[in-house]
């Protein structure tokens, strides 16, 4: 599965919006309110349309809060009117790799209505065909679908929390269980740990745990230059994941930072789904499983050093997957090729970027994110001092610079203006 284009009509803040996606990785950037999360939610609906053909597994529908509201003013009264129809349309490839590109559409036509799938029957029927093959024990490669929201680390449903012990069905689960929680946007720590334990216990470790350990070690080696040993504690009935870095003692999962835990769970969830969906691929499951993975705020909780390598690590670990992610991090933006970046503007435009790869964070902040590279108050005071120097008001300028030194230290620009004043006074 791959999504090449997405169109949204009357969806959230978009009246009519279109975006082209890179087949491997697309990074969405833009100011708050530019629609990054809305695009990811639209993609979740589009990709989740595959699940219409997989009975018993939830797909994402167009919800009431997705409907665009328009403010209407009538003399002294204001109303907000819902705009219909709400349309999510996608074009891409699903099913066999050589299949021609197709388009499909989901629509909500009125308040209280249901999301239609009459114009998404092509993707639904293709999924139904794969479902029948799986039921008959046939061979097919199922696409992976996964959506992760900003609350992915800390929010779990009660049903997910109850999965805190390995179940008898954990090893012999249906291949289709790889679609559990695909559009939920949260990661179930307990459910993942239950699966990992089922892959770990016994005479030898099963392929799922070995792949998890391999992929995770590769990712962390690149980020921290560390070797990892991973094991489960046998001293407590509430099993745990123990992680060891080369420069510190073994730590239980909950003692790790939010960023470390988020990465471990994200990698584990993708590995789990790939292995369950496509067991016939064995050790190649994570390399060859296709699909779409959506991540809102991929920089969430990550140390800046980790941010610089997270995108390249994911692309290397899961080369057959298509990732679409959003970020506010200039560190991440500076490490992504410009052809994989989309800038979302407040007016609904989508722009490409000039050469961003390898750029400094300050350059990214100024040129791509429309933000000051330095503290706004600092810039204001510095400009005020420069103006006073230009007007020969040296004492007032020195007073401002003195206060700035106390607040910001010996910044190079402050020192430079002080030196300029001294030169002017000497010349006088």
pLDDT of residue 237 exceeding 70: no
pLDDT digits (tens, 9 = 90+) for 211-226: 988 888 777 664 443 3
Q: State how far the Cα of 184 lies from the Cα of 168, in Å rounded to an integer.
A: 24
pLDDT of residue 264 exceeding 50: yes
Q: Where are the alpha helices (DSSP H) in 173-237?
A: 189-200, 207-224
DSSP string over 357-401 = TT--HHHHHHHTS---SS-HHHHHHHHHHHHHHHTT-HHHHHHHH
- The number of beta carbons lying within 10 Å of the beta carbon of residue 422 is 12
The pTM (predicted TM-score) of the whole model is 0.81
**Token couple for 270:** 């993708």
Cα first-last separation, the chain:
74
Q: In 206-227, which positions are buried (b, 16+ CB within 10 angstroms) versus exposed (e)? A: ebbbbbbbebbeebbebbbeee
pLDDT digits (tens, 9 = 90+) for 116-125: 999 999 999 9
pLDDT digits (tens, 9 = 90+) for 134-162: 999 999 999 999 999 987 765 555 444 44
Dihedral of the alpha carbons of 223, 226, 232, 233, in degrees to the nearest 10? -120
């Amino acid at each position: 599965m791959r999504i090449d284009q997405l169109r949204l009509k009357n969806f959230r803040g978009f009246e009519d919006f279109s975006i082209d996606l890179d087949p491997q990785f697309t990074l969405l950037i833009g100011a708050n309110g530019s629609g990054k999360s809305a695009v990811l939610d639209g993609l979740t609906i589009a990709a989740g349309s595959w699940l219409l053909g997989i009975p018993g597994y939830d797909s994402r529908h167009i919800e009431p809060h997705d409907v665009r509201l328009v403010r209407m003013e009538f003399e002294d009264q204001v109303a907000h009117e819902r705009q219909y129809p709400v349309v999510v349309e996608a074009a891409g490839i699903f099913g066999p790799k050589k299949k021609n590109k197709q388009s499909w559409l989901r629509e909500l036509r009125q308040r209280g209505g249901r999301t239609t799938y009459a114009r998404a029957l092509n993707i639904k029927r293709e999924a139904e065909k794969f479902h029948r093959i799986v039921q008959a024990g046939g061979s097919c490669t199922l696409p992976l679908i996964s959506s992760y929201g900003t609350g992915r680390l800390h929010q779990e449903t009660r049903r997910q929390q109850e999965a805190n012990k390995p179940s008898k069905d954990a090893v012999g689960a249906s291949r289709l269980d790889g679609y559990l929680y695909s559009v939920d946007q949260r990661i179930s720590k307990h459910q993942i740990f239950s699966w990992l334990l089922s892959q770990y216990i016994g005479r030898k470790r099963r392929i799922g745990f070995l792949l998890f350990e391999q992929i995770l070690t590769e990712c962390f080696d690149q980020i921290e230059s560390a070797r990892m040993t991973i094991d489960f504690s046998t001293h407590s009935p509430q099993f745990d994941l123990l992680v060891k870095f080369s420069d510190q003692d073994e730590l239980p999962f909950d003692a790790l930072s939010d960023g470390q835990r988020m990465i471990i769970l994200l990698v584990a969830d993708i590995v789990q789904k790939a292995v369950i969906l496509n067991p016939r691929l064995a050790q190649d499951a994570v390399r060859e499983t296709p699909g779409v993975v959506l991540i809102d705020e991929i920089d969430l909780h990550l140390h800046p050093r980790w941010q610089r390598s997270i995108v390249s690590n994911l692309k290397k670990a899961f080369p057959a997957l298509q990732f679409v992610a959003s970020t506010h991090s200039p560190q991440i933006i500076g490490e992504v090729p410009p052809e994989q970046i989309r800038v979302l503007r407040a007016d609904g435009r989508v722009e490409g970027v000039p050469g961003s790869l390898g750029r400094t964070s300050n350059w990214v902040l100024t040129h791509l994110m429309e933000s000051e590279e330095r503290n706004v108050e600092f810039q204001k005071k510095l400009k005020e001092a420069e103006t006073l120097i230009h007007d020969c008001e040296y004492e007032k300028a020195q007073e401002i610079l003195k206060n700035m030194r106390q607040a910001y230290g010996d910044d190079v620009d402050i020192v430079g203006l002080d030196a300029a004043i001294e030169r002017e006074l000497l010349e006088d």
